[in-house]
Amino acid sequence: MIALTIIISITYFSLIFFLIIGFYRIKEFKSEESKEDSSFSIVIPFRNEAENLPDLLTSISQINYPKTKFEFILVNDDSDDDSVEIIEKFKTCHAGRRVKNQKSKIYIINNHQKSNSPKKDAIDIAIKKAKYDWIVTTDADCIIPSNWLKILNDFIESQEPKMIVMPVSYEIHDGLFNGFQNLELLSLQGATIGGFGLKMPFLCNGANLCYKKNCFMELDGFSGNDNIASGDDVFMLEKMVRKYPTKVKYLKSKEVIVKTNTEKHFSDMVNQRIRWATKTTSYKNNFGKLVGFSVLSMNILILTLLLLTIFNFISWPLLAAAFFLKVLVDFLLLVPAARFFEQQYSLRNFLFASFLYPFYNTFIGILSLTKTYEWKGRKFSK
């Protein structure tokens, strides 16, 4: 048991430590004024988002970019609440106002489900109708920063990418439950940036993603993984990295951080995490598989050592050493991530999250192998 503990702990520590190094290698992008040549089609699937759409639409109205160079395509995925009415009302009110003498172009289209992944179908339909060169995806429960497209344009002009991954954070709310979710997302964002810094990208978030339309079409969109309900972001990342390994970039800028909300209920959080986890078995990225397996193994190890200690099969110093090593390297990753997202105060929940996470991660890992999950009122099997 001692040898296994050493192997798992050292592997985990090494991987996270390298991700920390990678995080620091990605420098914050300093925008320089460039000609606003890029045009964007922003794709937003929605299903029963009446509660969140007003904030999204308000942020849309505040975008600082020429209105002739972007459009919003909102894809209605069989909503049965007031989502469509809210958007239509916004369009009517917005049409009466002029922002820089231009009206924003906002379109609503209906989804037509043809695969096991309604969201991928929605994005695919929207991209086929998109008029512009660059596709940007986000979610209906997000808030978009005003300089989002401006900074994207400057990054495109200076870096000439094919795909751009950008940061996502939670709106901060009080409470341990929200704090736990926020720390988890910070760790995922830290690992995402770290992977790019190591030139081995393996994570991204569809709430803030951009790629060229012709590249999406050339790669035949989501074909090959449309049987998996989630993964519109990561599977596209894998395709892009294989085809254009030097043209997939991370835009590290506070001005493009898209914000979303934590889940309100434990059951919703569990279903969301199962949805995220079910796609991992289909990853083709070996580094991503290694990181995921190492994280799960480390958390299972902590629980196993805890049980063995309780029943006096091993002494507590082995558990303490493994747990300390994990907590140390986790903290070293979270600190720069929290600093970049300006959420240092989230670290006050770190110890609580550290004790809870081995139970939680193992629980989600097991459920993702055996349980169907519910999302937006639909049930999906693994």
The domain limits of the chain are 2-22+285-380, 28-185+201-266
Q: Taking 70 as the threshold, does the pLDDT of residue 215 lie above it?
A: yes
Instruction: Give the pLDDT confidence of 17-75 residue by residue, as tens digits.
Output: 999 999 999 999 998 877 888 999 999 999 999 999 999 999 999 999 999 999 999 99
Pull the structure tokens for residue 103: 């009206």
pLDDT of residue 376: 73
**What percent of the chain has pLDDT above 90?**
74
pTM, full prediction: 0.92
Instruction: Give the pLDDT confidence of 243-254 residue by residue, as tens digits.
Output: 999 999 999 999
pLDDT bin (cut points 50, 70, 90) of residue 136 is: very high
**What percent of the chain has pLDDT above 70?**
96
Superfamily per CATH, domain 28-185+201-266: Spore Coat Polysaccharide Biosynthesis Protein SpsA; Chain A (3.90.550.10)
Instruction: Give the pLDDT confidence of 157-173 residue by residue, as tens digits.
Output: 999 999 999 999 998 88
* 190-223 burial: b if 16+ Cβ within 10 Å, else e: bbbbbbbbbebbbbbbbbbbbbbbebbeebebbe
Pull the structure tokens for residue 17: 């430590």
pLDDT bin (cut points 50, 70, 90) of residue 299 is: very high
